[in-house]
């Protein structure tokens, strides 16, 4: 269950958590065309810090542009509203969800003239795939569901309705005793998790799926930059599920999942069946960064 906080920002005003409601005929509720972001705020020695705020807000606007939704606020206003949500709710750390949706008005597939609304909520949220998952790794299942073709759902946009595909995949994986799903693309290559990007390590080389059938992950970008700074070779290249099976290491990245090692895929142990050295190094760098311990990456933090 979500841990309630006090207030949610809705169209420029703070409303009480329990009063943050919309009409049952809200267009996005019926047809799924809305865009959102997931952002984390971390506790640091200097107070709460939002990780890569500007990049997340930019992706929110990119998603809206792709979907021809015009956000009725400037990016700077949304950035400030996100900061204010953390302040008002007195959060040391937590998860932040900006959401842009098409409101009540015209029904049918073409919402001509419907209002565009923005809501921003924040609440305490622990480890998405569990504390044990971060330290010991998780087991995953290659899903029977595949990621949509890039001209079916445009993958650069983080759209609410796209996650029906993810929910079905995750439900299937969990029902079969796994902790997460892995989806392939329409040509059978590894795409991404239900809500995560994936990396594999083989012969000291890190490989991650190129930006074809996947969301342009901000945590993915963070890890790629860190790996290069550490002189760890990293490439964007397609790979198959059997290459994943014989990888020495594998891990997921995402704002919610952070850096989660993968210990097993389809009942096949990855490497030694525990987090590998490269995974642990990058995971450590990531957590030191978001907690404000590395000045090198201090420009990624917005202190509240």
H helices within 90-204, ranges in order? 131-136, 163-175
CB 46 within 8 A of CB 302: no
In whole angstroms, what is the distance from residue 259 CA to residue 147 CA? 22
Q: Is 65 exposed, middle or buried (0-12, 13-18, 19+ CB in 10 A)?
A: middle
Question: Strand 190-193 to strand 116-123: parallel, antiparallel, or no bridges (unpaired)?
Answer: unpaired
Q: Hunting for tokens 């404000």 — which residue is that? A: 292
Q: Which helix (H) or strand (E) holds 49?
A: strand 47-51
Is 127 catalytic? The answer is no
In whole angstroms, what is the distance from residue 95 CA to residue 50 CA? 9
Which residue in 4, 54, 136, 158 is the catalytic one?
A: 158
Q: Which two tokens stand for residue 275?
A: 């987090």
Q: Could you tell me how many helices (H) and strands (E) the chain has, helices first?
A: 8, 17
Q: What residues act catalytically?
A: 158
């Amino acid at each position: 269950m979500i841990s309630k906080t006090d207030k949610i920002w809705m169209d420029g005003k703070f409303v009480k958590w329990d009063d943050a409601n919309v009409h049952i005929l809200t267009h996005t509720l019926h047809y799924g065309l809305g865009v959102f972001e997931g952002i984390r705020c971390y506790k640091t020695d200097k107070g709460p810090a939002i990780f890569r705020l500007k990049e997340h807000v930019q992706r929110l606007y990119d998603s809206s542009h792709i979907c021809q939704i015009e956000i009725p606020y400037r990016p700077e206003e949304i950035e400030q509203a996100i900061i204010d949500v953390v302040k008002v709710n007195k959060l040391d750390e937590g998860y932040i969800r900006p959401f842009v949706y098409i409101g009540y008005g015209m029904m049918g597939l073409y919402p001509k003239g419907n209002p565009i609304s923005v809501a921003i909520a924040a609440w305490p949220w622990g480890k998405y795939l569990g504390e044990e998952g971060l330290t010991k790794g998780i087991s995953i299942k290659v899903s029977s569901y595949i990621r949509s073709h890039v001209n079916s759902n445009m993958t650069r946009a983080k759209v609410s309705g796209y996650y029906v595909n993810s929910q079905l995949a995750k439900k299937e994986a969990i029902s079969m005793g796994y902790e997460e799903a892995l989806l392939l693309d329409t040509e059978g290559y590894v795409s991404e998790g239900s809500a995560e990007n994936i990396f594999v390590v083989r012969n000291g080389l890190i490989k991650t799926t190129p930006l074809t059938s996947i969301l342009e992950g901000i945590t993915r970008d963070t890890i790629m930059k860190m790996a290069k700074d550490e002189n760890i070779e990293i490439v964007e290249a397609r790979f198959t599920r059997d290459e994943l099976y014989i990888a020495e290491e594998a891990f997921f990245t995402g704002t919610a999942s952070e850096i989660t090692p993968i210990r097993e895929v389809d009942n096949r142990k990855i490497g030694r069946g525990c987090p590998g050295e490269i995974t642990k190094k990058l995971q450590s760098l990531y957590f030191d960064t978001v907690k404000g311990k590395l000045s090198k990456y201090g420009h990624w933090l917005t202190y509240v």
